[in-house]
Amino acid sequence: MFSEQVQSSRATQKEATRNKVLDTAYALFVSVGYADTNVRAIAQKANVSVGTVMNVGSKQSLLIQTIGHRITVMHDELRGQSDNLLDVLAPFLKMFTGQEELSKAYGAALITQGDNGEILNELRTLLVDEIVLRLGNMLPKDDAKEFATILYNIYLGLLLGWAAGAYDTDELSIHANSSISRLKIAYGVK
C-alpha cells in the first residue's frame, strides 16, 4: 500500500513537472518567439534541468504538444455554443493568424516530425465532431459527418494558403465564410 502511494505521488509530481515545462515552453514561444527559444531557456525559466525538459520532448515536440493542448482547450470552451459554423473555425483561425511565426513553426514541426498522424487525427476528430454537433438535425448523420470532414479539409487548406502568403488574414475569414456558405448550399442546409 505504501508503495502504491509513493508511485501515485511520483506520477502526480511527474505530471505537474511536465505541465510546468509545457506551460513555460508555450509562454516563451509566444513572448520571445519560437526561433529565439531554446531548451536551455525553457529549463531555466521552469526551474528544471535541461534533461527534464528533454524528457518531456524536443523543442519541436514541445511546440506540437503545447499547440495541441491549446486547440483541445479551445474546443472544450466552444462545445455547442451556437449554430454558426464560422464560430467553430474563427477562434482557431484567429489563434493561428495572431501568432504567425508560431503557426508556421507548428506546421513545419508537424511535417518534419513525421509521426504526428495520430495528433492530427485527434484534432480533426475534435473539429469534425463540433461541426456535426452544430449541424444538429439539419442533415442525416452521415451527411453531417461528410460535410464536417470537407469543411475541416477546407480549413486546413485555408490555413496553408494563408501561411504561404496566398492571402491575408481578412481574406482568410472571407474565404472561410464563403466556403461554409457554398457547402450549406450544396448540402441544402438552411
In whole numbers, what is the pLDDT of the chain averaged over residues?
89
Q: Are 40 and 126 in the same domain? A: no
Q: What is the mean pLDDT of residues 25-52?
A: 97
**Do 40 and 95 have their domain in common?**
no
**Residue 151: is it exposed, middle or buried by C-beta count within 10 angstroms (0-12/13-18/19+)?**
buried
Looking at residue 4, its pLDDT comes to: 61
Cell of 103: 503557426
Model confidence, pTM: 0.80
What confidence category does residue 76 fall into, taking pLDDT thresholds of 50, 70 and 90?
Answer: confident
- Pair (45, 104) in one structural domain: no
Count Cβ atoms below 10 Å from residue 3 Cβ, excluding itself.
Answer: 7
The predicted structure's pLDDT at residue 118: 79
**Domain identity same for 102 and 47:** no
- Domain with 116, as residue range(s), is 58-190
